[in-house]
């Protein structure tokens, strides 16, 4: 409820909280409380409402110092202007906004080329609200293809325990058994051997992750596909691979051109990525592509009128702004291959330089160093007993840094790490400041009698 002091109607007529913009009461905003449970009876001047909401948002963390998120936190002013111009366009109304729909089609074609589709004309794909929706769509296609085989058992999906939580949601929502391969020792993601060992005739697919959120490492997609080829030769089980490239599918084409992970592998049926991660676009936009029309059962696709013709659409969400798709196309136009390579290489260079400097501090051990995704994970060395990764995370937060600390999943819950995600906009200068703050914190952390966090509060991190 909004609580007003004095004459509410008179105050509202007088305008905002700034007397230089026409209001007579410079303390007007200070007399108000924002509604929490019900609407106020009276409207507020626009400037006053803006000030009050902005004031509350000051309590949020600084997005540029958020080293937890993979999501883009900086774009050029021109991109922000373009998004503002397109925010009122509804992506689902392709007949009303045909050029926005055409930009979406161009983005799909560009991604098909980046991911070595054997026949661009046969590729089918679409934009989504993010990788989670894209994964749901890919999973639906896998299950529908499996159901056409006439099998009667319970469908299952094989994946590493390091998958993003959206895959577990997919299995729950669509009644698929999740076969999560646990971590083991220093193996923090799915291996070809373990993938095959968990498959049977009711396996709808194997999910391979190009860029694990736990440590930034690539799963061996080509080895997994090769092992499934051998399995198909022995058993006749033709099990497709879906590559969850939420982050890596926008890194590998530019920085790892010799890595074979995409549609060059015939067993890869579909790929998803997040445009709002290393696609360098503000949230939320994702993409999912199928290598050909056979990989996406046609009964899942609906046609809408588009420029006097028909355009296929496949989505869980309907109304959403066209701004993110326009921004994705802008980014493709703006950067080209060489621009993407330069931006992603800069992020990888920052990550590798920062990880090396953290290792040199002494109390920390690297699990990864940022040479695949520009992401690395590290933990404390065995001789460190006065503090743990949760203490480090909490101390860095006092300076505004958001560096997540979390435990690994089943079989490695004994391992707790810190993870740093380096994105476009995180510079060597900011990395220097992070090292300075971490170095300043270490003497006090080392002087502690022991870790200060509650171990029961430590949970696995899904992001």
Asked whether residue 233 falls in the same domain as residue 316, the answer is: yes
Domain ranges, residue 408 = 345-457
Per residue in 196-221, pLDDT (tens digit) is 999 999 999 999 999 999 999 999 99
Q: pLDDT confidence of 455, banded at 50, 70, 90?
A: low
Asked whether residue 83 falls in the same domain as residue 32, the answer is: no
- Distance between alpha carbon 277 and the CA centroid of its chain, in Å? 5
Whether residue 414 lies inside any domain: the answer is yes
Only one residue has tokens 């959403």, namely: 320
pLDDT at 400 over 80: yes
pLDDT at 321 over 50: yes
| pLDDT for res 96 | 82
446: preceding bond cis by omega (within 30 degrees): no
> Total domain count for the chain?
3
pLDDT at 18 over 60: no
Asked whether residue 319 falls in the same domain as residue 435, the answer is: no
pLDDT at 2 over 90: no
Asked whether residue 402 falls in the same domain as residue 290, the answer is: no
The span from the CA of 356 to the CA of 23, in Å, is 56
Asked whether residue 177 falls in the same domain as residue 274, the answer is: yes
Q: pLDDT confidence of 23, banded at 50, 70, 90?
A: low
Whether residue 202 lies inside any domain: the answer is yes
Give 241's contacts (C-beta < 8 A, 6+ positions apart).
205, 206, 207, 208, 221, 224, 225, 228, 265, 267, 268, 269
Asked whether residue 230 falls in the same domain as residue 352, the answer is: no
Asked whether residue 51 falls in the same domain as residue 85, the answer is: no
| pLDDT for res 8 | 40
Per residue in 350-361, pLDDT (tens digit) is 999 999 999 999
- Cβ-contact 2, 34 below 8 angstroms: yes
**Nearest to 32, CA basis, from 59, 19, 51:** 51
The span from the CA of 101 to the CA of 93, in Å, is 9
Q: Which one of 332, 359, 375 terminates a domain?
A: 332
Whether residue 413 lies inside any domain: the answer is yes
Asked whether residue 311 falls in the same domain as residue 390, the answer is: no
**Nearest to 242, CA basis, from 217, 214, 275, 219:** 219
Does 400 or 6 have the greater pLDDT score?
400
What does the mean pLDDT of the chain come to? 90
Per residue in 140-176, pLDDT (tens digit) is 999 999 999 988 899 999 999 999 999 999 999 999 9
Whether residue 443 lies inside any domain: the answer is yes
Asked whether residue 48 falls in the same domain as residue 165, the answer is: no
Per residue in 415-433, pLDDT (tens digit) is 999 999 999 999 999 999 9
Radius of gyration of the chain (CA): 25
Q: Which one of 280, 304, 332 terminates a domain?
A: 332
- Cβ-contact 322, 97 below 8 angstroms: yes
> Which domain CATH number covers 318?
3.40.640.10
Whether residue 1 lies inside any domain: the answer is no
Residue 305, H or E segment: strand 302-306
Asked whether residue 357 falls in the same domain as residue 325, the answer is: no
pLDDT at 26 over 70: yes
The span from the CA of 138 to the CA of 159, in Å, is 14
Q: pLDDT confidence of 442, banded at 50, 70, 90?
A: very high
Whether residue 63 lies inside any domain: the answer is no
Per residue in 78-98, pLDDT (tens digit) is 999 999 999 999 888 777 888
Whether residue 368 lies inside any domain: the answer is yes
Asked whether residue 22 falls in the same domain as residue 84, the answer is: no
Q: What is the pTM of this model?
A: 0.90
The span from the CA of 463 to the CA of 460, in Å, is 10
Maximal C-alpha separation, the chain: 83
Asked whether residue 232 falls in the same domain as residue 274, the answer is: yes
- Cβ-contact 159, 180 below 8 angstroms: yes
> Which domain CATH number covers 350?
3.90.1150.160
Q: pLDDT confidence of 16, banded at 50, 70, 90?
A: very low
């Amino acid at each position: 409820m909004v609580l007003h002091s004095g004459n509410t109607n008179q105050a509202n007529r007088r305008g905002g909280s700034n007397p230089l913009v026409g209001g007579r009461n410079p303390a007007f905003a200070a007399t108000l409380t924002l509604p929490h449970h019900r609407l106020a009876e009276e409207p507020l001047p626009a400037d006053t409402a803006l000030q009050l909401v902005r004031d509350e948002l000051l309590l949020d963390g600084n997005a540029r110092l958020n080293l937890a998120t993979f999501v883009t936190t900086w774009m050029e002013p021109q991109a922000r202007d373009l998004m503002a111009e397109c925010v009122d366009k509804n992506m689902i109304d392709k007949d009303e906004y045909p050029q926005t729909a055409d930009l979406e089609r161009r983005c799909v074609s560009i991604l098909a080329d980046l991911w070595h589709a054997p026949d661009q004309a046969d590729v089918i794909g679409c934009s989504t609200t993010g990788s989670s929706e894209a994964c749901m769509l890919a999973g639906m296609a896998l299950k529908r293809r499996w159901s056409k085989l006439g099998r009667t058992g319970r469908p299952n999906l094989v994946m590493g325990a390091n998958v993003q939580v959206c895959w577990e949601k997919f299995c729950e929502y669509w009644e698929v058994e999740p076969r999560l391969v646990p971590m083991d020792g220093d193996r923090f993601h799915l291996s070809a051997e373990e993938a095959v060992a968990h498959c049977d005739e009711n396996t709808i697919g194997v999910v391979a992750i190009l860029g694990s959120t736990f440590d930034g490492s690539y799963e061996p997609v080509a080895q997994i596909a090769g092992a499934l080829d051998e399995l198909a030769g022995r058993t006749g089980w033709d099990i497709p691979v879906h590559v969850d490239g939420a982050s890596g599918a926008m890194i590998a084409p530019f920085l790892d051109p010799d890595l074979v992970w995409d549609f060059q592998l015939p067993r890869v049926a579909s790929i998803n990525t997040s445009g709002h991660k290393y696609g360098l676009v503000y949230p939320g936009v994702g993409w999912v592509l199928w290598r050909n029309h056979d990989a996406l059962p046609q009964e899942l696709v609906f046609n809408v009128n588009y420029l006097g013709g028909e355009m296929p659409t496949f989505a869980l969400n309907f109304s959403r702004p066209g701004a993110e798709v326009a921004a994705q196309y802008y980014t493709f136009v703006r950067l080209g291959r060489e621009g993407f390579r330069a931006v992603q290489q800069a992020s990888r260079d920052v990550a590798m330089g920062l990880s090396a400097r953290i290792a040199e501090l002494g109390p920390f051990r690297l699990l990864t160093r940022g040479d695949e995704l520009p992401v690395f994970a590290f933990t404390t060395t065995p001789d460190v007993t006065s503090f743990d990764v949760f203490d480090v995370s909490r101390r860095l937060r006092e300076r505004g840094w958001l560096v997540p600390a979390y435990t690994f999943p089943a079989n490695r819950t004994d391992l707790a790490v810190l993870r740093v995600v380096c994105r476009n906009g995180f510079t060597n200068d900011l990395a220097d400041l992070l090292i300075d703050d971490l170095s300043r914190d270490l003497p006090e952390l080392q002087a502690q009698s022991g870790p200060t966090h509650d171990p029961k509060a430590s949970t696995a991190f899904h992001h």
